[in-house]
Amino acid sequence: MNRRRFILQSSKAGVALSLGATLMACIDQNTDTVVQPKKSKVIALCTWGFSEANAAAGKALESGSTALEAAITGVAVEEANIKNSTVGKGGAPDREGNVTLDACVMDANGDCGAVVCVQNITHVAALAKVVMKETEHVMLAGEGAEELAYRHGFQKENLLTEKAAEDYRAWLKTSKYEPIINIENHDTIGMLCMDQHGDIAGACTTSGLSYKMKGRVGDSPIIGAGLFIDNEVGGAAATGMGEEIMKQVGSFLIVELMRQGKSPQEACEVAMQRIVSKNKDINKFQVAYIAINKAGATGSYCIHPGFSRMEYRNGKNTRIPSAAHFTN
Ligand code: SD4
């Protein structure tokens, strides 16, 4: 008999060795030995230390989700996390006390969708996908996006939590606007996923800078700035001072640098150099980039130390501190 592999669950041994939804041990009939499943090459990576969100995306990928679905599943964890003050519900409001959210998604076909300045809806990355799939447009703002959400069954929710309202009242005493470096004020989630077919997609979602001007929109929902995917090359996402990322169209630039042969790490560094070289006051703000290429190599770079990315690979979710322009 030729070498044949049987799933153990149905083998004469009758032993089930289920190693997860898509990974099953097999038996080699000739040698009667167990053949371990090949590790799936799925990868999820995201900005900052969002381990739960990244693991959710990784597990979704392991069980066969597309890269886009997995990214939306992953970032949804942070959108619902009321302790995260710059994403989704629990996000800090603008200067008028309104929480307004921005998000975008981009898939392996190069399709994309975005929503900006949306109130009362928690899962704005999923809403960006609705814009992509159900409308002729790429971006919807404010009330139009909110109305679309209700038409597609999204719940109306008060996004301003007690804690965020309390912090806002404290902020009003001085009303001083100071974008703070690192996690205190920057924890937008940008996520890049590679699925079992090797396809790449991503999502980026934020409440933007705390106490921003009414109507202010940052880089996160801007295709090419907060997120860009070209499934032939790779993908990139950004977090930090949106105005600076938009000026350099940061994520698009990283993908183009990878197209020219740079590794994800080199591409993040070269793209950051543009920001550094064009700004006299890089002490005042943080920017961080993450990237992945088609071969599954990844990288990240930031201006100030303190940024890290989460990476789910071979079933393991790891926090990887990022190299920085400044060493301390
Ligand atoms: C913005 N880039 O609105 C976002 C903020 C951010 O982590 O990334 N915070 O400019």
Amino acid at 32: D
Burial string for 268-299 (b: 16+ CB within 10 Å, else e) reads bbebbeebeeebeebeebbbbbbbbbbeeebb
Q: Ligand 1 centre and the CA of 144: distance in Å?
A: 23
Which atom from ligand 1 is nearest to the alpha carbon of 243?
Answer: 10
Atom 3 of ligand 1, nearest CA residue: 208
Residue tagged 């066969």 (tokens): 64
Which atom from ligand 1 is nearest to the alpha carbon of 216?
Answer: 3
Residues 85, 20 within the same domain: no
3-state secondary structure at position 292: strand
Residues 170, 225 within the same domain: yes
CA atoms within 13 A on the CB side of 169: 6
Residues 22, 47 within the same domain: no
Which mutation among 100, 181, 241, 247 tests ligand 1's pocket best, with the greatest number of atoms within 8 A of CB? 241
Evaluate whether 87 touches 79 at the Cβ level (below 8 Å): yes
Amino acid at 162: E
Residue tagged 């392996």 (tokens): 108
Task: Give residue 72's pLDDT.
Answer: 98
The total number of structural domains that make up the chain: 2
Residues 82, 220 within the same domain: yes
Task: Give residue 177's pLDDT.
Answer: 74
Residues 159, 248 within the same domain: yes
Taking the chain (328 residues) in consecutive chunks of 10 residues, what is each chunk's mean pLDDT? 39 35 53 60 96 98 98 98 93 96 98 98 98 98 98 98 96 80 68 98 96 96 98 98 96 98 98 96 92 98 95 98 92
Atom 7 of ligand 1, nearest CA residue: 186
Residues identified as active-site: 188
Q: Ligand 1 centre and the CA of 239: distance in Å?
A: 5
Nearest to 222 by CA among 104, 88, 122, 86: 104
3-state secondary structure at position 272: helix
Residues 9, 133 within the same domain: no
For residue range 258-304, list pLDDT tens digits in order: 999 999 999 999 999 999 999 988 988 999 999 999 999 999 999 99
Residues 99 and 42: their CA atoms lie apart, in Å, by: 34
Task: Give residue 12's pLDDT.
Answer: 35
Residues 172, 313 within the same domain: yes
Q: Ligand 1 centre and the CA of 188: distance in Å?
A: 6
A 10 A CB-CB count for 254 gives 33
3-state secondary structure at position 163: helix
End-to-end CA distance of the chain: 64
Residues 307 and 323: their CA atoms lie apart, in Å, by: 8
Which atom from ligand 1 is nearest to the alpha carbon of 240?
Answer: 8
Which mutation among 100, 220, 275, 286 tests ligand 1's pocket best, with the greatest number of atoms within 8 A of CB? 220
Q: Ligand 1 centre and the CA of 90: distance in Å?
A: 15
Which atom from ligand 1 is nearest to the alpha carbon of 188?
Answer: 7
Residues 12, 72 within the same domain: no
Q: Ligand 1 centre and the CA of 28: distance in Å?
A: 52
Residue 214 Ramachandran class (φ > 0 left, ψ -120 to 50 alpha, else beta)? beta
Residues 48, 11 within the same domain: no
Residues 152, 26 within the same domain: no
Would you tell me the crossing angle of helices 264-277 and 250-259 to the nearest 10 degrees? 130
Which mutation among 85, 115, 182, 186 tests ligand 1's pocket best, with the greatest number of atoms within 8 A of CB? 186
Q: Domain range spanning residue 14?
A: 3-34
Starting at the earlier edge strand, list the strands of the sheet with 234-240: 227-230, 234-240, 287-293, 298-302, 323-324
Task: Give residue 187's pLDDT.
Answer: 77
Q: Ligand 1 centre and the CA of 197: distance in Å?
A: 31
Cβ-in-10-Å burial (0-12, 13-18, 19+) of 206 comes to: buried
**Pair of tokens at residue 41:** 């090459």
Residues 143 and 151: their CA atoms lie apart, in Å, by: 12
CATH number of the domain at 158, please: 3.60.20.30
Residues 208 and 324: their CA atoms lie apart, in Å, by: 22
Residues 75, 201 within the same domain: yes
Which residues does a 6 A CB cutoff place in the pocket of ligand 1?
86, 186-188, 206, 208-209, 218-220, 239-242
Task: Give residue 150's pLDDT.
Answer: 98
Task: Give residue 1's pLDDT.
Answer: 40
Residues 157 and 145: their CA atoms lie apart, in Å, by: 14
Residues 257, 111 within the same domain: yes
